[in-house]
Structure 1
Amino acid sequence: MVKNFLYTVSILLIMTTSLYAQDESETLYTRAGFKAGLNYTNVIGDIEDTDARVRMHLGAVIEFPVSQRFFIQTEVLYSAQGYKVDVNGEENKISLNYLTLPIIAKFYFTNKFSLEIGPQFALLANATESKGDTPDEFFDSFNNFDFSGGFGAGYKTESGLFFQFRYNLGLTNINDIDTLDVDFKHSVAQLSVGYLFRTKNNRRQNSNNE
C-alpha cells in the first residue's frame, strides 16, 4: 500500500513537471512562512468504539516553485492527535503528539486554488491518557514512527495568506505491542490557515505586472 502511494506521487510529480515546464529565463522564488489549525483526529482499523477528538497543529512551511503551476510545500509541524475510547463506562482521552514532516505537491489549477497530495513522515513525541496516571509503558505501546498519505486542497491570496484542507490517512500500524494482534492507524482531517512571506520581485508579483 505504501509503495503504491509513493508510486502514484512520483508519477504525479513527473507528469505535472512535464506539462508545466517553464522558460529557463523566468525566475521563480521560494517563500517561507508558518501555519496553524485544527485536527479532527481518530483511529481506524481493528480497534472499535472510538470517538474523534478536536486538537491542533502548528509549525513552519516552505513553498518551492518548480513551474508555473507546480510547487512543492515542505512543512515541519507539531501535530496533536489521538482519540477517545470508553473504558468501563468512563471516557479515556488518548493523546498522541507528533513531530511531522509533510512533503506536499501542489498543482495550481488557477492562480489561487490548488490541489495537493504527498507523504507525511512523523515521530511520536509523547503519549498520554486522561484516565489516571500514565505509566511509562504507555508510550512504548505505540509505534515511534508513523507514515501517512495526505491529500486535499488549498487557497492562497496574493498577499501570502493561505488556507488548506487536508486529510491524512495513516499507512502505519501504530500498535507496538507484540503480544496484541491489533492493527489500527491514524485518520486525521486538518483545517489550516497560514502565511507565506513575500520576497522581493517574487514570481506572483511579476505575473500581475505583465
Structure 2
Amino acid sequence: MKKITLIAFVLFIGIQSSQSQVRVSPGLRGGLNVSTLTNIDDNNSKTDFYVGGLVNIKFNKFFSLQPEITYSRQGDEGREYFGNGNNYRYVKYELNYITLGAVAKFNFNGGGFHLLAGPSLDLKVGDNYINSNPEDFDLAIVGGIGYTLPNGLTFEARIKQGLVDIYGYDYYDNDGYYTNDAILNQVFQIGVSYTFKTK
C-alpha cells in the first residue's frame, strides 16, 4: 500500500510539474495583406489589412501552438469590362474572411527567431463581386518566419496559400479547364503581434 501511495504521489508531482511548464498567453495581431488570385490574366495584387486575436500555448522554449482568429481582407485588382466589351478599368475585388487557424511555432535554440506553419479555415463574410459568386469558404496553409522580443512583441512574415478554387469549378465537366487553372487565394502577410504576459 505504501508503494502504491508513493508511486501515485510521484506521478502527481510529475504531472503538476509538466503542467507548470505550459504557459498560455492571449494576444493581438495585425498587419498588411498583399493578396492576389492565381491563374487570372493581367490582374494585380491588392494591398489591405488583417487584424485579430491569438492564444499562444508555449509548451517549452522550443515549441508553441498558437490558435488564432483573424479578420482578413483579401482579393485582387482585376479588369472589369464595360460598354461594348473593349473598354475596361481595374477594380479592387474584395474577398473578406474570418479566419480560424492554428500555427505551430518552432524556436531556433530556444531564442526569439522562429519558423511557423499550420492550417486555416477561412469563412467568407463579404465580397464585392457582381457577375459571379465566390465560394463561401477556403482552406489554406500558412508558413512563415518571425522574431519575438522578450517583452512579447513579435514581428512576422507569412505566406498564406488557399487550396479551394474560389469559383468552385468542376475540372472534369468543363472542357478546356484543368486543375492547374484553379483560381486560388494567395496572400503575403507582414505584421506584428503582442502576447500579454501571464503569471
Q: Give the shorter-chain TM-score range.
A: 0.7 to 0.9
In structure 2, the residue matched to 1:62 is 55
Find the partner of 2:146 among 130, 154, 157. Answer: 154
The answer to whether the Cα contact below 8 Å between 2:31 and 2:51 also exists between their aligned partners in 1 is: yes
Alignment partner, residue 45 of structure 2: 52
How many residues align? The count is 169
Specify the structure having the higher radius of gyration (Cα): 2
Paired with 1:128 and 1:83, the residues of 2 have a C-alpha distance of 11
Structure 1 residue 24, shift from structure 2 partner: 2.9
Identify the range of structure 1 (54-63 vs 64-73) with the bigger mean alpha-carbon deviation.
64-73
Partner of 1:28: 22
TM-score (norm 2): 0.78
**Distance in 2 of aligned mates of 1:164 and 1:59:** 14
- The percentage of counterpart residues that share the same residue type is 30
Alpha-carbon distance between aligned partners in 1 of 2:165 and 2:22, rounded to the nearest angstrom: 40
CA distance in 1, matches of 2:20, 2:67: 23
Identify the residue that residue 187 of structure 1 maps to in structure 2.
Answer: 186
- Structure 2 partner of 1:120: 120
2:14 is matched with none
Q: Contact (CA 8 Å) 1:142, 1:177: kept in 2 or not?
A: no
Kindly report the root-mean-square deviation, in angstroms, between the aligned alpha carbons of the 2 structures.
2.0
Structure-1-length-normalised TM-score: 0.74
Deviates more, 1:146-155 or 1:169-178: 169-178
Matched-pair contact (CA < 8 Å) for 1:50–1:83: yes
Among candidates 78, 83, 88, match of residue 85 of structure 1: 78
**Large movers: runs of 4+ above 4 Å:** 177-182
The gaps in structure 2 that reach 5 residues or longer are 1-16, 81-86
Amino acid at match of 2:191: S
Whether the 8 Å CA contact 2:23–2:59 is kept in 1: the answer is no
